[in-house]
Structure 1
């Protein structure tokens, strides 16, 4: 099986089909611009006005010739439910429920057709709303007539449909409209003249939300938010104020800083790394973090802390290095316009937003930042643990710096590896790794959740995940290995990747060593390994020859290696304890 998405990530290009119940052509330019800011180039196919049904259901539809990676179908509430807006008095409760049921049944048919014709595509749908100012006014909640139950019923049904298919993503347009305001969302002139349901301002907001959704699915969101301390996490300057004199607490503007910290804590819970970069005396600043009774963020919430008198660009480089992530993964928040300007100049890869001067606006500014740079459409167990995982990784680095030898360091970690087949509980994390891992990734193939689920039940494939635990705690699922049966006794590594958190520990040796043992049970005599070079995976360029594979041939830019399993194995290093938690029941 080949993935239609595998070409998206290395080239950062996505084929995007736009379907709508209104004119959607005007969304193309702002959507392309928003995607470009996330490093994604889009090729578009745009359906005609209200032609979404025909585009999906017609056997020879050009939609399917385009083979999009993403199908974005925007349906407007006024177009879906004209009966409600034209004559709400003709619909009692039962008829409104029937109307909602009918629209959801039609949506299910359209989804089924798209899934059949485009099984690998992501489908982006939207919640709907209707004009809040309508003829019912006071009758909305005081009579048998209504509009709100139609909207809530449809949106709830849409959520249920999406929960049955991981390739469906729902964008909450209803909340977006509420945030912007319906009067700003609509421009009646554009509707009457061009059949466009949004204003220019709304098109920008909608495009930004769609771009964040697509970029999130492609693993293009930022990973770490780095914050200043003085006048950012609290009001006042440490060293000039006593602990009790800082603005941080339940009264006055101190509550604004508390609410800002609470939202940062929510980011942490979603798997976004937090770090500190502050020009300060370390003892004074850490005393506030550790001891102030109103602090919601404590030292354990920060994956990295740099508190000193060095310039902030230098400290941001150090934070990226200790976390083993690129500078392009960082967002830096600082109240000082001078510091912001310096970091923008010195480190253009780091995103530095303008920041409000009034702390009353901090939480809102952070939420807007989340919507563009930390947007998430899925969560795994590892996401909730990510901050702790990276903090533990920093502790491992400290231990490594004092070890007398590399092998002594490995043994001191007391590493335990657990390997098992992919299943319904672990596939979401496996897919997350497949879509986001770039450095230790020998082929950079990208699979969707539906594709991995299909591979896991295909007798020609073996799909394994690896978890690593050491003396500092669990790293969670950090490795994926997909083996593909070729002919006879030959198998090939289709996908082999490790999270950057565990690079440099020889985990790859243990994983491939396990693979050699597992393949014995399937009568394997040869294991082929393919290396597909990308701009970021040079760390694995010499992986196969290092582990004893023999060079076979070049296939264009790809290199093919082979290991004769009848006379050679990859050894499992003795500093690992390895456990296997089950076998794929239908494997060969």
Structure 2
């Protein structure tokens, strides 16, 4: 994939004669162009962020955006008198995006040239192109998930959360208790398949096998009574984190097989991975079954083996392993004798109960 065909994750807007007609400081700024408004709203629904790089007075510009009902759409706006390449660079760094994932639109050729000179990977567009931006492939994600439609709110919540943490005088576990964290573990639905697939593909460090499950495969698992396809979401008083974990569990008579466990790197410091594994251990204990978890080492996921070991998974032999067929691939199968765990004190947990499978292991072979 070339830089020009890679998806755009954030579009940075100029204001004068781009977002609205006229120059604000000369008293000539009108209402935002309707094509601009439609483009901003469409990109936002697609999960593409909007930001600002404008040479202007911040207070006046922000007031005009608020009056127009557009201020809420912009993350990390840079409105001041420094070079626009600096603004675009700072926006990309704050979002942790590579320059190739950022685009810039400005009516002035000199401003576009200045950005391209210092940031050649940033794609630049003219004000005249705004009306057609949403038809371009780089602004058209293949899928629009529940999380992509709330991506802006997730970033804005993250910035507010980080700002409060910076001003908090105390240890991390005390700060976590102030967040009013809520972890939800639910069965995936058809509407969840796109974001579950995305998690299997994009979580590389916190993925126990590194295997990508495409949507058709996941859809088949939803229809298989032996399988539980579970999605974990997290929120706090600042807003949503979105889908942050998935569990693919195959259930046999005396053993539950944890085929895949993946969590987002964004929630490592919160301890969500351990909370999900403790919940799963509790569910298995209440159903009087053992747990076996697959781990396949990659060049990035060593931390997930540590997570399993810390949760009590071992290499200890057990007769329950005989209930699982081998797939002939290079993986480690870790064993756990489940136990009932108390929910963590730093978050509120709500979940679906898991129940025994009605089929025996002889009703089908392990895939």
Asked if these proteins are the same fold (TM beyond 0.5), I'd say yes
Deviations 1:218-253 (A, max 9, x none): xx6332222232332223444x323xx21x33xxxx
Of the structure 1 ranges 523-532 and 471-480, higher mean CA displacement relative to structure 2 is found in 523-532
Mapping of 1:28-177 within 5 angstroms?
Answer: 36-37=1-2
Query: Which residue in 1 is equivalent to 2:336?
Result: 564
Distance in 2, Cα, partners of 1:276 & 1:333: 9
Q: Does the aligned pair in 1 maintain the 2:209–2:294 contact within 8 Å?
A: no
Match of 2:243 among 477, 484, 507: 477
Match of 1:504 among 269, 283, 289: 269
User: 2:7 aligned with 1:231, yes or no?
Assistant: no
Q: 1:438 to 1:528 in 2, by over 3 A?
A: closer
Distance in 2, Cα, partners of 1:531 & 1:277: 45
Of the structure 1 ranges 258-267 and 324-333, higher mean CA displacement relative to structure 2 is found in 324-333
Q: How far has the Cα of 1:513 moved from its partner?
A: 1.8
Query: Which residue in 2 is equivalent to 1:272?
Result: 48
Q: How far has the Cα of 1:280 moved from its partner?
A: 3.6
Query: Which residue in 1 is equivalent to 2:348?
Result: 577
Q: Does the aligned pair in 1 maintain the 2:248–2:260 contact within 8 Å?
A: yes
TM-score (norm. length: structure 1): 0.51
Query: Which residue in 2 is equivalent to 1:282?
Result: 58
Q: 1:497 to 1:570 in 2, by over 3 A?
A: farther
Distance in 2, Cα, partners of 1:574 & 1:510: 10
* Structure 2 unpaired stretches of 5+: 317-328, 360-367
Query: Which residue in 2 is equivalent to 1:379?
Result: 144
Q: How far has the Cα of 1:325 moved from its partner?
A: 4.3
Matched residue SS, 1:393: helix
Q: Whose RCO is larger (CA < 8 A, sep 6+)? A: 2
Query: Which residue in 2 is equivalent to 1:144?
Result: none
Q: Does the aligned pair in 1 maintain the 2:17–2:23 contact within 8 Å?
A: yes
Match of 1:494 among 260, 271, 274: 260
Matched residue SS, 1:504: helix
Distance in 2, Cα, partners of 1:327 & 1:540: 30
Distance in 1, Cα, partners of 2:82 & 2:302: 32
Deviations 1:75-110 (A, max 9, x none): xxxxxxxxxxxxxxxxxxxxxxxxxxxxxxxxxxxx
* Structure 1 unpaired stretches of 5+: 1-35, 40-211, 213-219
Q: Does the aligned pair in 2 maintain the 1:410–1:505 contact within 8 Å?
A: yes
Higher helix share: 1
Deviations 1:7-39 (A, max 9, x none): xxxxxxxxxxxxxxxxxxxxxxxxxxxxx3269
Matched residue SS, 1:262: helix
TM-score (norm. length: structure 2): 0.78
Distance in 2, Cα, partners of 1:327 & 1:342: 15
Deviations 1:44-99 (A, max 9, x none): xxxxxxxxxxxxxxxxxxxxxxxxxxxxxxxxxxxxxxxxxxxxxxxxxxxxxxxx
User: 2:133 aligned with 1:362, yes or no?
Assistant: no
Which structure has the greater CA radius of gyration?
A: 1
What RMSD over aligned residues (CA atoms) do the two structures have, in Å?
3.5
Query: Which residue in 2 is equivalent to 1:431?
Result: 197
Q: Does the aligned pair in 2 maintain the 1:392–1:472 contact within 8 Å?
A: yes
Deviations 1:438-495 (A, max 9, x none): 4543433222222112123334433211121211233343321213468963633424
Matched residue SS, 1:37: coil
Deviations 1:283-340 (A, max 9, x none): 232122123xxx352x211233233445444444443444354444322323344443
Q: How far has the Cα of 1:272 moved from its partner?
A: 1.8
Query: Which residue in 1 is equivalent to 2:112?
Result: 340
Deviations 1:562-582 (A, max 9, x none): 35335x788753111001135
Q: How many pairs does the alignment contain? A: 346
Matched residue SS, 1:445: coil
User: 2:358 aligned with 1:393, yes or no?
Assistant: no
Distance in 2, Cα, partners of 1:225 & 1:519: 47
Q: Does the aligned pair in 2 maintain the 1:399–1:409 contact within 8 Å?
A: no
Q: Does the aligned pair in 2 maintain the 1:231–1:237 contact within 8 Å?
A: yes
Matched residue SS, 1:274: strand
